[in-house]
Chains A and B, each alone.
Chain A
Amino acid sequence: MTQLEVNRLIDKYMEGATSPEEERLLAIEVNRPDAPAEWKLVAEMLGELTLGEALYDRTMVERKRIRIRHYVGWGVAVAACLTLWLVLGKLVPETSQQDTTPQIAQKPAPAAKPEEKEATPVLTPATPSEEQVAYTAPTKRMKHNPRRQATPLMAETIETEVMPELPQVSEEELAQVEKDYQMWQLKQVILMEKIEMDAATMALNKKYEAYLEEYSNCIEI
């Protein structure tokens, strides 16, 4: 608030025309360390309780704003992680399968076996034959790439476990907090407009009184 606005509000306070909300707003302004001496008197008149209430309300509003940012930040981060996970989960196994499939296809019998059994030829023979070497290379690659088998499971995990944790808890609260904050902002705007209108009305009243006085003086003369 500007100094002029605070002075208008003080005038209104002295006229007994301020609302409790305006008095709380005024309490914060007149309790600033650099406030003029006359404002300090108004601060004393407003009392400690008004200032305490004003600071309490302001702190709560600030906290709500911080909470909104916090929730939005986490929401965005989690959404980004999930998207990345889904994209990587779909893309990487496709490329690895493309590499392995033709090589496995050359060997019909072991390709049908499970992965553990496919890996055994690597460990057991002391002198592997040419066929075994040609066959073991792709299976090694498959063992080092666990995503190939895990991809469908990951998608299930995302749908069943991770997704429900994200929005259900925070969305309602977020909406409520957002709504409260918007209401508060709206209230502040209305308050400021009201103050200005009241100040203008007071000025008009004063002019009118002055005019009446002048007029009565004229009549007396």
Chain B
Amino acid sequence: MDKTTFEQTAARLRPLILRVGLDFFGSADDAEDVAQETLVQLWRYCQQLDESRNVEALAVRVAKNCCVNLKRRQHLTLVRATDSMSETSPSPHLSPHEEVERQESLQAMDEALQQLQPRERQLFEMRQETGLSTEEIAQQTGIPKASVQSMIAMARKKLFNEMKRRMNL
């Protein structure tokens, strides 16, 4: 998806994203933050997507994720402020070691995804990113439902085994 198309899509999706944020926070300011962050993340996703994908479903998922992340950050800020006063309770955020582990895991996932066949990868990502059901994916791609299911299953098994190998599990 190019920049011009995305700008048009973003203008169309903005009210939807704002509603998701407003439902969660009940505050227009927070909903605005959610919308900003969602559109930034959505742009990253859309750079990798073609225009045939269901961007609305993806936008709602990304917006919900942003709501949860923003809430978590607000909570962390509060906990850190309390910690700096009391310095007794341990901080709930990830330790540097856990953060490194997480980055390695994400990298392994990306590399493992590259090894999938293009069709498998496309179907896997459609399911993972937009959260569409098998029927919806079958409708959008024109592939029979049974084939979609078996290709997604194949992709998942390959990914799981590859990641298991890379993470030495």
Contacts and interface: CB of A to CB of B under 8 A. Distances in A.
Interface in A1-55: 13-17, 19-20, 23, 37-38, 40-42, 44-53, 55
Interface stretch (B4-12, B81-89, B147-155): B147-155
B119 interface: no
Contact of B61 (A15, A37, A52): A52
B160 A45 contact: yes
A60 interface: yes
A14 B160 contact: yes
A17 B105 contact: no
Interface string B130-169: 0111100000000000001111111011011001100101
A205 to B, nearest CB: 13
B164 A41 contact: yes
A56 interface: yes
A63 to B, nearest CB: 9
Given A52-B65, A52-B68, A53-B61, A47 B152 contact: no
Nearest to B163: A41
A45 to B, nearest CB: 6
A83 interface: no
Q: Which 9 A-B pairs have the closest CB atoms?
A: A52-B65, A16-B153, A56-B64, A16-B152, A16-B149, A47-B128, A49-B61, A52-B68, A55-B68
5 contacts: A14-B160, A17-B153, A38-B164, A52-B61, A56-B67
